[in-house]
Amino acid sequence: MDPIVDRICSDLRDMGDPEVRKTAKRFFKEEITCHGIRTAAVTSLAKKYWKEIKGRNKQEIFALCEDLYRSGYIEEAFVVSAWVPNLKDRFEPADIGTFRRWIETYVTNWAMCDGFCNHTMGEFLEKYPDHIPELKEWAASGNRWMRRAAAVSLIIPAKHGKFPDESLEIADLLLTDGDDMVQKGYGWLLKEVSRKHTERVFRYVMENKRKMPRTALRYAIELMPKDLKAEAMKKDW
């Protein structure tokens, strides 16, 4: 293991707070492994160490990220999520294979999924939109976090008004998924699409509300005007 990874892990262990750790675990249904450090402090540490490693080649940095993931701690995963978007100018199409493997292998909760996918995958897909169709494969995965990743990877582009067609296609594939983490993921995506395409998302919700889980529906309409929300929530069966 690279000495810098040892230093990061040591720093994170020293920063751990039992009370923060206890509080953090309340936000997850699944068991998580964490030191107990507030996100802002982890981000600050990630920035500090980025200054030391940013001059290394991309594959070396990816190897450091893999070592951090192998620790199993959520804070080390957050360091990865802070570092990798900084490499966006060095992204290449083949990197999606690495990103997919990391999600499949190391992501075990919604925070790790969203932290990585929102920014790293968002930046990657804006640069290489031809790879968006691969998200359809993710949406069919037996891994709940891959299915959530299929949706939340488009969150930031959707917030900017991009890829509405592709976002609705992903929502279609996940529409009746029984996992609440997946429902919340694609509902969130629809909400972000609605920022720039309110009427379109409203029509989508109205066309699909009989099949759409209420959890996803509530997320999808969160930003809509009150009258549209009321119409969408009305039971018509």
160 with 186, same domain?
yes
Selection from 16, 84, 32 nearest residue 54 by Cα: 84
The model carries a pTM of 0.94
Give the CA distances from residue 114 to residues 75, 120, 122, 132, 194, in Å, rounded to whole numbers and listed in that order: 14, 10, 11, 17, 19
64 with 145, same domain?
no
- Whether 237 shows a pLDDT value over 80: the answer reads no
56 with 76, same domain?
yes
50 with 143, same domain?
no
Stretch 68-91: mean pLDDT: 98
Q: Let me know: does 193 contact 222? Beta carbons within 8 Å.
A: no
Instruction: Give the domain-ending residue among 38, 70, 90.
Output: 90
- Whether 1 shows a pLDDT value over 80: the answer reads no
Domain with 186 in it: what CATH number?
1.25.10.90
Q: What percent of the chain has pLDDT over 70?
A: 99
220 with 124, same domain?
yes
Instruction: Give the domain-ending residue among 68, 90, 112.
Output: 90
3 with 81, same domain?
yes
Instruction: Give the domain-ending residue among 64, 90, 116.
Output: 90
57 with 149, same domain?
no
103 with 80, same domain?
no
Q: Is 135 exposed, middle or buried (0-12, 13-18, 19+ CB in 10 A)?
A: buried
Per the structure, the count of domains in the chain is 2
58 with 114, same domain?
no
Stretch 5-9: mean pLDDT: 97
**What does the pLDDT look like over 158-190, one tens digit per residue?**
999 999 999 999 999 999 999 999 999 999 999
Domain residues for 169? 99-237
